[in-house]
Structure 1
Amino acid sequence: MAFLETDGGRVHYDHYRGDHGTTMVLIHGWGMSGDFWNSAVEALADAGVGAIVVDHRGCGRSDRDFADMSIEAIAGDVAAIVERSGVDRVVLNGWSLGGAVAVAAAGRLGDRVAGLVLTCAASPRYTQADGFPHGGKAEDVEGIAGAITADRAGFFRVLAKGAAAEGANPALTDWFERGFLASGPRASKTLLDLTTLDQRDLLASFAFPVLSIGGEKDTIADPAIAGFAANCARYGRLLMMDTGHSPHLEDPPRYNAAIVEFMESLT
């Protein structure tokens, strides 16, 4: 367990070292924590691959009272943690909103980045725009903060049920609900960035491999976004899984095999 000290507070991360020349940086989805990556960390360790797991500002064991909760600020934390950890090459893996963080952090880290994994990511966009007919409407995202304030417990129960495909293990749904409820009161500020986020040019500029993993039954991030991301990237590849929004938790064996294979392909 370690903390990055910033001007606004402390950001928690764990660094699991491995023998592989490249480390995977795991960036969780909105309102969650690094604990939701534990299965992936175990699979990477079995393959000799190290991992860095980051808790967003306002989530997990990071401080709650940051003034700046933006995606760019979280990406800056990720980049600073990578530099502090002393690893030379990383693959950034972002789930949901963490995918947008991963893309932004990759833009900051430059030649340190060997690859990118987007897991049901909210990137390169999350809402509809010219040339991007996928996702929802900006006003829907804008309404989430108010809905959370009005009925935090009720909203998060519904959201937890949507974080995996219908019929998912109830224990998983309960875990999601506990994760959302544990997030800080300012975490919803991060979501507002998704109304205008546009990473199409940045994603297209990357000269390293990108694996975009989507869930065919995803009701939180339009599955078409995963395909768009794979086509947008210069060296993109798409893997669609028979899951909802959380393939790494709904089908860990297949998901973990895919990310280990991706890491091994970079050697």
Structure 2
Amino acid sequence: MPTITTTDGTEIFYKDWGTGQPVVFSHGWPLNGDAWDNQLKLVADNGLRGIAHDRRGHGRSTQTYVGNHMDTYADDLAALIEKLDLRDIILVGHSTGGGEVARYLGRHGSERVAKAVLLGAVPPIMLQSDTNPEGTPLEAFDGIRNGVLADRSQFYKDLSVAFYGANREGSNISDGTREAFWLWSMQVGVAAAYDCVKQFSESDFHDDLAKIDVPVLVVHGDDDQIVPIAAAALKTAEIVKDATLKVYEGAPHGIVGSSYEQRFNADLLAFAKS
């Protein structure tokens, strides 16, 4: 099982498929690198090298009690990139993974990076405040933390509904998709899952976004019930110097469904090849 070891002894699991220009994927909470399997195969089939890791505390990486912090997530990503000596990278981050990508670029710069993709990503900041009235109230994130501690199995089953828009009229999200979400979520250590809520909701990425000096594709569904577009992509696209915004009408948060996923796959490949 391929892993790298960080400076604090955490083992980070990763998948590495194909050859060519590397496309490095960062997953959302509370999932793992398996959520990117379709995209890993897509890029590998098209002459690129797809790499996806499990964030610390998630999936097959070390079940960490400490270090569950956005800065550490970015440093773990840097450790993976440096260990594999990746260059001319296309970074792709979904949800919390989008925050990880932004923080990586803010902390480590773009020397090894050619482009980035932020999909349904949490920057610039999710938490509602006087300066961010479009954000999500703290009570909602407290509810997530309570759900993780009280009955995480049922909580993750329930969360998959909004995540994939299964509560919308006409939704054809399969039971299998929701069960896969539950399975991946149950592999997260409780401590890491709990800590990560604060990281994806309260981390302020304004400074990170302002430092990004590579082209960025910003993609977001306008029916995202997890990371509302008004507080996220619409603001991110205004901050990043070289951003291209694509809004997917009616799309949920999770990357699934014939129209959403196929459109994203086409846009990802086009952006990678441009």
The corresponding residue for 1:129 is 129
The corresponding residue for 2:179 is 174
| Structure 2 unaligned spans of 5+ | none
TM-score calculated relative to the size of structure 2: 0.90
Deviation readout 1:4-25 (Å, 9 max, x if unpaired): 1122421111222422xx3111
Give 3-state SS (helix, strand or coil) of 2:103's partner.
helix
Please report how far the alpha carbon of residue 247 of structure 1 lies from its aligned counterpart in structure 2 after TM superposition: 3.0
Equivalences, count: 263
Please report how far the alpha carbon of residue 195 of structure 1 lies from its aligned counterpart in structure 2 after TM superposition: 4.0
Asked if residue 231 in structure 1 is aligned to residue 230 in structure 2, the reply is no
Give 3-state SS (helix, strand or coil) of 2:14's partner.
strand
Counterpart residue type for residue 51 of structure 1: G
Asked if residue 190 in structure 1 is aligned to residue 196 in structure 2, the reply is yes
Q: What is the CA–CA distance in structure 2 between the aligned matches of 1:142 and 1:52, rounded to whole Å?
A: 33
Alpha carbons of 1:144 and 1:227: their partners in 2 closer, same or farther (altered >3 Å)? Answer: same
Instruction: Note if contact 2:15-2:53 (Cα within 8 Å) is conserved in structure 1.
Output: yes
Q: What is the CA–CA distance in structure 2 between the aligned matches of 1:134 and 1:109, rounded to whole Å?
A: 29
Please report how far the alpha carbon of residue 36 of structure 1 lies from its aligned counterpart in structure 2 after TM superposition: 0.8
Q: What is the CA–CA distance in structure 2 between the aligned matches of 1:233 and 1:226, rounded to whole Å?
A: 10
The corresponding residue for 1:112 is 112
Q: What is the CA–CA distance in structure 2 between the aligned matches of 1:248 and 1:213, rounded to whole Å?
A: 14
Deviation readout 1:82-136 (Å, 9 max, x if unpaired): 0111121112111111111111112233211111111101111111234433230
The corresponding residue for 2:78 is 79
Instruction: Note if contact 1:142-1:195 (Cα within 8 Å) is conserved in structure 2.
Output: no
Asked if residue 37 in structure 1 is aligned to residue 36 in structure 2, the reply is yes
Identity across aligned pairs (percent)?
29
The corresponding residue for 2:24 is 25
Please report how far the alpha carbon of residue 154 of structure 1 lies from its aligned counterpart in structure 2 after TM superposition: 1.9
**Greater CA drift, 211-220 or 186-195:** 186-195
Please report how far the alpha carbon of residue 249 of structure 1 lies from its aligned counterpart in structure 2 after TM superposition: 5.7
Instruction: Note if contact 2:40-2:50 (Cα within 8 Å) is conserved in structure 1.
Output: yes
Counterpart residue type for residue 17 of structure 2: Y
- RMSD between aligned residues: 1.7
Instruction: Note if contact 1:40-1:248 (Cα within 8 Å) is conserved in structure 2.
Output: no
Asked if residue 159 in structure 1 is aligned to residue 159 in structure 2, the reply is yes
Counterpart residue type for residue 144 of structure 1: I
Q: What is the CA–CA distance in structure 2 between the aligned matches of 1:92 and 1:188, rounded to whole Å?
A: 26
Please report how far the alpha carbon of residue 183 of structure 1 lies from its aligned counterpart in structure 2 after TM superposition: 1.4
| Structure 1 unaligned spans of 5+ | none
Give 3-state SS (helix, strand or coil) of 1:78's partner.
helix
Deviation readout 1:232-267 (Å, 9 max, x if unpaired): 1111111112320023566322111111111111xx
